[in-house]
Structure 1
Amino acid sequence: MTDIFDRITLASTRLLPLLARLTFAAVLLRYFWGSALTKLDGLFTPSLGAYAQIFPRQMEAAGYDVSQFGAFHWLVVMGGTYAEFILPALIVVGLFTRLAALGMIGFTVVQSLTDIIGHKADAVTVGAWFDRASDALIMDQRTFWMFVFITLVGMGGGMFSLDSALKSRLTRKGYAPEIAV
């Protein structure tokens, strides 16, 4: 009996990172890319909505006049916007997967705090753990997102990832046998 469970453990260890990446691609990739697209009027021109999404209270205080915002705000908006393009792409192809997933954890925490504090999300939207309802946008859904990201931080990109291919290639050349993928 233990042999069966040992095989299941081995298979799970090999498959979980790949399944986490596929789950991310199926459920969240278009969400993040779609969100990023709403934040751009041009390659380096953030939309008014980008500032309103990322700095909601400051935008309201400024009367939605972006000219009152400086270089710091532009950098935050552009950094966040391009993170929504780049980090998901890295996760899907499995390149620098651990770092990309760690970045997505930080991104999701900031996104959630912005929704709760900046946009003043109501109690139903925020939700609560260990309640009967499982459909809250923040506490419930984003907990599952975090589970996928934590799996990738802990286990790497897994099979069929560029991380794995890179490690294999570097190991064959004798450069990096200690790289954890």
Structure 2
Amino acid sequence: MNTLISLHNSIFSRIERADWLAPTLARFTFAAVLLFYFWNSGVTKLGDGIMGIFAPSVGGYAQIFPKALEAVTYDTSQLSIFHWAVVTAGTWAEFILPALIVVGLLSRVAALGMIGFIVVQSLTDLYGHGGIEHPETLGAWFDNISNAAILDQRAFWVFTLLVIVIKGAGPLSLDRLLAPRQKSEM
């Protein structure tokens, strides 16, 4: 029995000391699961042509401000500069923040930005798109159903991003490459 305990302690103490493992796997998981989700969502918000990055599509407004857009009968010219700025910034965030996380540049700030984005996205899904009227969309923790879009899925998303906020991007990142070298004391 002592041999088994020693083997267990030996293996898991090495894993516990592997500070690179959690942030590297968190970035990999983000890239594998969420990178194209956010990029594809951003593409749907782009307007026509190269200048579409400054002139969001009607779909972009519909995703972020569904009730306001409906109130002006889907005429985006009747919305304010505030609406344009939010939709444009949200569109850019869907491209820039995931890219920063994947390459590991300013990763802690980008992960915090993504957490904020997910909170706003979730509130928009609940209140703007009527998800609050459908309890299965919100879901509930500590139940036997694990696929609710808001509380279940997005808890995992935020946890993955919190690993990056807390631990950084890991050794395979531009953050590490650009960081000043630590001089070892003798």
TM-score, normalised via structure 2 length: 0.88
Shift of 1:4: 3.7
What is the alpha-carbon distance in structure 1 between the residues aligned to residue 27 and residue 171 of structure 2? 10
Check if 1:156 corresponds to 2:168.
Answer: yes
- Corresponding residue number in structure 2 for 1:132: 144
- Corresponding residue number in structure 1 for 2:3: none
Give CA deviations for 1:62-121 in whole Å, capped at 9, x if unaligned.
111111112111110000000000000000000001000000000000000000011111
- Corresponding residue number in structure 2 for 1:6: 13
1:29 to 28, 31, 35: 35
TM-score, normalised via structure 1 length: 0.90
Q: Aligned residues: percent identity?
A: 59
Q: Where does the alignment leave 5 or more consecutive residues of structure 1 unmatched?
A: none
Assess if the C-alpha contact under 8 Å between 1:15 and 1:159 holds in 2.
Answer: no
Question: What is the aligned-residue RMSD (CA, Å)?
Answer: 1.5
Assess if the C-alpha contact under 8 Å between 2:118 and 2:154 holds in 1.
Answer: yes
What is the alpha-carbon distance in structure 2 between the residues aligned to residue 4 and residue 46 of structure 1? 52
What letter corresponds to residue 24 of structure 2 in structure 1? Answer: L
Shift of 1:3: 4.3
Shift of 1:19: 0.4
Check if 1:40 corresponds to 2:46.
Answer: yes
Q: Where does the alignment leave 5 or more consecutive residues of structure 2 unmatched?
A: 1-5
Assess if the C-alpha contact under 8 Å between 2:107 and 2:168 holds in 1.
Answer: yes
Number of aligned residue pairs: give it: 171
- Corresponding residue number in structure 2 for 1:51: 61
Shift of 1:5: 3.2
Alignment of 1:111-130 (within 5 A): 111-121=121-131, 122-130=134-142
